[in-house]
């Protein structure tokens, strides 16, 4: 073999080695792209267009499958019974503009909780449910019955602000918060909720959501209104 032929062969080997490296890089990039796409939720129309472009790019008529979640199902954790209960109850409450502003839901480690401000539920210093309060609890009972609650424990917690109360019926905020929680539980029982799944707890002003007063000790009325609330915890019994 001549010297010239040897040089051409060596040059060809260098070119082929570079092409192999380039091809490997493109393959790795494609794999990364497919992995990123597989954990996203693209629109089906766009997904088909990507498949078409990939076939054209790589010169193949074989079908390219891109794994993705196109069934529009919510994530597993959002499909939990707790989420369904809270989502349905919130939807019902939104039909009542006045009450919807005082109802909030959130997920917890073992389930979920519904927070209802006391303003529409009780008159100041009282533990008897108002007409709006009865309607709200009735809607909650209906939701619990519709979605089932046999595997859960339902804790109703009463909370107050830090303004002391002293009356013949309620000598302290502890009594008032416990009485309000009991009133909600009793209404749930009247509406058919199993009493063995319920419990009432009064916390007084010991667990505020936000500070009742500023750093100078002045009351913050907006925060006090937030802290006056009833919280319904729906958690797994196990």
CA dist., res. 7 & res. 77, Å (int): 64
Q: How confident is the model at residue 84 (pLDDT cuts 50, 70, 90)?
A: confident
Q: How confident is the model at residue 207 (pLDDT cuts 50, 70, 90)?
A: very high
Residue bearing the bigger pLDDT, 166 or 20: 166
Give me the mean pLDDT over the 27-36 stretch.
Answer: 66
Contacts of 195 (CB under 8 A, 6+ apart): 185, 189
In the prediction, which pLDDT does 117 show? Answer: 96
Res 39 pLDDT > 90:
no
CA dist., res. 37 & res. 29, Å (int): 12
In the prediction, which pLDDT does 161 show? Answer: 97
Alpha-carbon separation of residue 187 from 121, 170, 193, 195 (angstroms): 12, 20, 9, 11
Q: What angle do CA 167, 132, 185 make, to 5 degrees?
A: 65
Give me the mean pLDDT over the 15-40 stretch.
Answer: 65
- From the CB of residue 187, how many other CB atoms can be counted at a distance below 10 Å? 19
Among 68, 50, 58, 54, residue whose Cα is nearest residue 23: 58
CA dist., res. 217 & res. 45, Å (int): 60
Residue bearing the bigger pLDDT, 183 or 78: 183
Give me the mean pLDDT over the 103-129 stretch.
Answer: 92
CA dist., res. 186 & res. 179, Å (int): 10
In the prediction, which pLDDT does 198 show? Answer: 97
- Cβ contact 93:103 at 8 Å: yes
pTM score, whole prediction = 0.66
CA dist., res. 125 & res. 103, Å (int): 20
Choose the most confident range, by mean pLDDT, from 8-17, 26-35, 227-236.
227-236
Give me the mean pLDDT over the 100-122 stretch.
Answer: 91
Q: How confident is the model at residue 214 (pLDDT cuts 50, 70, 90)?
A: very high
């Amino acid at each position: 073999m001549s010297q010239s032929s040897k040089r051409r062969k060596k040059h060809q080997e260098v070119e082929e080695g570079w092409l192999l490296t380039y091809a490997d890089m493109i393959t790795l990039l494609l794999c990364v792209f497919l992995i990123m796409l597989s954990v996203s939720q693209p629109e089906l129309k766009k997904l088909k267009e990507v498949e078409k472009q990939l076939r054209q790019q790589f010169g193949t008529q074989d079908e390219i499958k891109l794994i993705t979640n196109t069934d529009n199902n919510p994530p597993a954790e959002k499909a939990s019974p707790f989420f369904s209960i809270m989502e349905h109850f919130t939807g019902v409450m939104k039909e009542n503009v006045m009450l919807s502003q005082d109802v909030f839901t959130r997920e917890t480690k073992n389930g979920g909780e519904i927070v209802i401000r006391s303003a529409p539920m009780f008159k100041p210093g009282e533990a008897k449910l108002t007409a709006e309060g009865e309607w709200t609890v009735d809607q909650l009972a209906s939701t619990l019955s519709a979605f089932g609650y046999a595997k859960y424990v339902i804790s109703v917690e009463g909370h107050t602000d830090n303004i002391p109360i002293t009356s013949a019926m309620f000598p302290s905020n502890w009594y008032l918060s416990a009485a309000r929680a009991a009133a909600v539980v009793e209404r749930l029982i009247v509406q058919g909720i199993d009493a063995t799944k319920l419990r009432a707890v009064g916390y007084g002003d010991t667990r505020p959501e936000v500070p009742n007063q500023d750093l100078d000790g002045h009351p913050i009325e907006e925060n006090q209104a937030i802290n006056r609330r009833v919280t319904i915890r729906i958690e797994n019994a196990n």
